[in-house]
Structure 1
Amino acid sequence: MVTYLEATGISLMDVLANLWYQFIQLLPGLIGAVILLLIGYFLGALFEGIIKGALLKAGLDHWVEKHERHHAIGKASVSGIIGGAAKWYTLVLFLGPAAALINLGIMSQLLYDLARWLPHVIAGVLIFYFGLILADMAETAIESHNFKWKHFWGGLARVFIILFVLDIALKEIGVNIIIAQSTYLIVLTGIVLAIALAIGIGFGTALKDDAKKIIKKLS
């Protein structure tokens, strides 16, 4: 019984000693990674302040609000979105080297791959945000003209642009969905058919009297 307890105690001490040794080996890299991330965070915050301030002075937010485009992105500040993207992009640039300092095997590789993927996520989000503004501008431009079904065509143009931009944003992120592309093609086909039908009806109405005269002459 005593021998069994001694063997168990020795095994437990070996495990604890091994964990402590691994922690000591990991500690310098962990400290270096934390320092790198802190540097990246403060640099990102600095870039965010500079970019946001420059865009505010340039009057970007004022222009967006003046043309009533801010509601297209949930009334968020455009300069704030761009500044925030610059901040997190800068931080992500430091994530890869920080992951390399931590010797965690496959976990370090996962962090490194994540650091390479996140900039594409940020770019995809920015593309989609500006796509929403573009869709809103197109809808307003179409509805400003006085013609029949202007709200329908304006809304259709908005949906068309949003689907198109969403497809680009998802491809930038690395998500390639066939459903979005199929929907986009269906909407495009519908627009073409509707325009062709409208032109056909218009020409048919305009040439109705001439067609009657031609038929009378032939008969």
Structure 2
Amino acid sequence: MLNWLEILTSSFQASGAAVISFVPNIIGAIIVFAIGWIIAIGLAKLVKQLVDMFKVDQLLEKMGAKEILEKAGLRLDSGAFVGALIKWFFIIVFLLAVTEILQLFQVSEFLRDVLLYVPNIIIAVVIMLAAVLLANVLHRIVKATVSAAGLASADFLATLTRWAIFVFAFLAALIQLGIAPALINTLITGLVAMLAIAGGLAFGLGGKDYASQLIEKVRRDMGSRS
């Protein structure tokens, strides 16, 4: 009976010592996370104010981004978006420090992967912003060119050009994010092939009469010379 009591006593003492030795780590982790949370929120507010000060939303609105986002049920607020990215980036950084303090190494590895993924998100956002700019510029160019040519399909072709750029940019952003890259590459290849075939058929069928008239004219010229 005495041996059992000694075993239980030593077990409780060892457990208590382990808990007591781990308490400073918990307190340190809480302090580090609290400091990180304050820094992250402060930097997010600062970045939002800087973005708003440079009037990025007005520039994006002129590029047509506001209209597109509203159609998707979203509100244009680039300052809040960039601020949120900054905030969560620093929160994850300090969470990584907390997991290292608490010796949660598997969680630390996961958080490192998340941090390494953040640049992909930024590049994907840049791709979409560049697509908005390019799509609106080409929309105006195509509309003006087709209208100057006296064709009635100026609005249709301009809108088709804009949305074609949006679709390809969206697929490129998904590839950058690593979302089903093989499937998206197949879709892009299929779309390019479809457009090439459709363009060839349209040109061939539309230019058939003109080509026959041109050939007939050449024949008449050759016959008159002979």
Alignment TM-score, normalising by the size of structure 2? 0.73
| Offset from partner CA, 1:34-68 (integer Å, 9 cap, x none) | 22222222222222122211111111122223443
Residue 167 of structure 2 is matched in structure 1 by 159
Residue 149 of structure 2 is matched in structure 1 by none
Given that 1:160 and 1:187 are in contact with CA atoms closer than 8 Å, whether structure 2 keeps it comes out as: no
Quickly say closer, same or farther: Cα 1:68–1:210, change in 2 above 3 A: closer
Offset of 1:28 from its aligned partner?
A: 1.6
Alpha-carbon separation, structure 2, partners of 1:10 and 1:186: 75
Alpha-carbon separation, structure 1, partners of 2:90 and 2:97: 12
Q: Equivalent residue of 2:64, what SS? A: coil
Given that 2:48 and 2:79 are in contact with CA atoms closer than 8 Å, whether structure 1 keeps it comes out as: yes
Alpha-carbon separation, structure 2, partners of 1:196 and 1:12: 86
Alpha-carbon separation, structure 1, partners of 2:176 and 2:52: 28
Residue 95 of structure 1 is matched in structure 2 by 95
Offset of 1:85 from its aligned partner?
A: 0.9
Offset of 1:23 from its aligned partner?
A: 2.1
Given that 2:33 and 2:94 are in contact with CA atoms closer than 8 Å, whether structure 1 keeps it comes out as: yes
Alpha-carbon separation, structure 1, partners of 2:209 and 2:169: 32
Residue 26 of structure 1 is matched in structure 2 by 22
Alignment of 1:59-208 (within 5 A): 59-73=55-69, 74-103=74-103, 108-144=104-140, 145-146=142-143, 147=146, 148=153, 149-150=156-157, 151-170=159-178, 177-201=181-205, 203-208=207-212
Q: Equivalent residue of 2:177, what SS? A: helix
Alignment TM-score, normalising by the size of structure 1? 0.75
Residue 35 of structure 1 is matched in structure 2 by 31
Q: Equivalent residue of 1:75, what SS? A: coil
Offset of 1:159 from its aligned partner?
A: 0.9
Offset of 1:78 from its aligned partner?
A: 0.7
Given that 1:49 and 1:83 are in contact with CA atoms closer than 8 Å, whether structure 2 keeps it comes out as: yes
Quickly say closer, same or farther: Cα 1:119–1:130, change in 2 above 3 A: same
Q: Equivalent residue of 1:94, what SS? A: helix
Residue 49 of structure 1 is matched in structure 2 by 45
| Offset from partner CA, 1:69-93 (integer Å, 9 cap, x none) | 1344422411111111112212222
Question: What is the count of residue pairs matched by the alignment?
Answer: 206
Q: Equivalent residue of 1:48, what SS? A: helix
Offset of 1:18 from its aligned partner?
A: 4.4
Offset of 1:161 from its aligned partner?
A: 1.4
Q: Structure 1 unaligned runs (5+)? A: none
The range that moved more, 195-204 or 69-78, is 195-204
Offset of 1:10 from its aligned partner?
A: 7.1
